[in-house]
Amino acid sequence: MELKVIAYARNGHTDKFGIPRQSREESPIRTRIVFEPEYRVAEALRGIEGYSHLWLIWGFSRSFSSHTSSSTAGDPNSLDWSPTVRPPRLGGNTRMGVFATRSPFRPNPLGLSSVRLIGIEQGDLIVSGADLLDGTPIYDIKPYLSFSDSHEDAKNGFAEEHKEDRLAVSGERGDVPEGVWEDIIYILSQDPRPGYQDDPEREYKMDYDGWKVTFCVQKGTVLVKNTEKI
């Protein structure tokens, strides 16, 4: 089966480090879904404004294992996979079954995200809550239906323990625009560090929307040390 890219995601996540681990309803980050010319047809969006949320089916275009070259990343036939993976939220040491996680290292590199539809601008969809890298290929878009897609008695497995994990963020925004700073604070509050790294003196660098942010994490607080324009 051949999957056709119908659109690409465009936002400030120009680097994989810092991308939210899951799509989140409360996220302030906006993502523009830009359709490819073949699918940039107004009729294809007829009625979509009647939905508040959408499902995005997309590809892990920049996730590949150490045994897979970047030139073949995104090709389902070239990706290595393992029946177990090490979820970051479990510290990076505990192995769980790949089908019990949302790891990008899968037999087929497909992702699924529930996002809020903000509006339509010049034929593009504007959504919030997407956990996507800038340039992520979108393969399909479907409406989210609350009466069938939401299950009140659903169990969250090992993810339940970490669903409310948040860190306080401290630091001056400097010259960072207010809207971009709001996004950065949100990203940092979710602790973008790998789960196995907890050195309070270690400095991390994150690129977002044209800005490089340097920070460390001490006693449950993210300390922004520097922001500079890229």
Domain boundaries, the chain: 7-149, 166-229
Query: In this structure, are residues 198 and 191 in contact, taking their beta carbons and an 8 Å threshold?
Result: no
| 7-149: CATH architecture | Beta Barrel (2.40)
- Whole-number average pLDDT of the chain: 87
**């963020």: which residue's tokens?**
169
pLDDT confidence of 87, banded at 50, 70, 90? confident
pLDDT confidence of 161, banded at 50, 70, 90? low
CA separation for the pair 86, 95 (Å, rounded): 5
* Rounded average pLDDT over 204-214: 95
The per-residue pLDDT for 119 is 96
Which amino acid is residue 74, in one-letter code?
Answer: G
The per-residue pLDDT for 162 is 57
Q: Where are the beta strands (DSSP E) in the chain?
A: 7-10, 30-35, 53-59, 84-85, 96-97, 110-121, 124-128, 137-143, 168-170, 204-208, 211-218, 221-229
